[in-house]
Structure 1
Amino acid sequence: MRSSFSAPRLSPRCIRMIKYLIDKSLIGSHWKINEPEEAAKF
């Protein structure tokens, strides 16, 4: 029990939720770092 994050025990729905939250946080920090001009390209 070294890692509390064991993929086989998580349901696909749980994994999707975690991935969604990670993507959301990564994108959120991405927008904060970028200048408004950079964000306007997207």
Structure 2
Amino acid sequence: MAAICAICKSQFSKVLPYYGFQMDQVISIHQLVGDALVLSTNEI
């Protein structure tokens, strides 16, 4: 599950355990984007 911001992500801490999910299954959008970026020093 992806949350838009840290406040949104923190709201899941009370709901997710009720449904049997762990908080490590929630990631923020900026973390997804950051993980997807590939920076290269090679010039074209």
**Common fold, TM-score beyond 0.5?**
no
Using structure 2 for the length normalisation, give the TM-score: 0.31
Using structure 1 for the length normalisation, give the TM-score: 0.32
Q: In proportion to residue count, which structure has more helix?
A: 1
Higher RCO (C-alpha 8 Å, min separation 6):
2
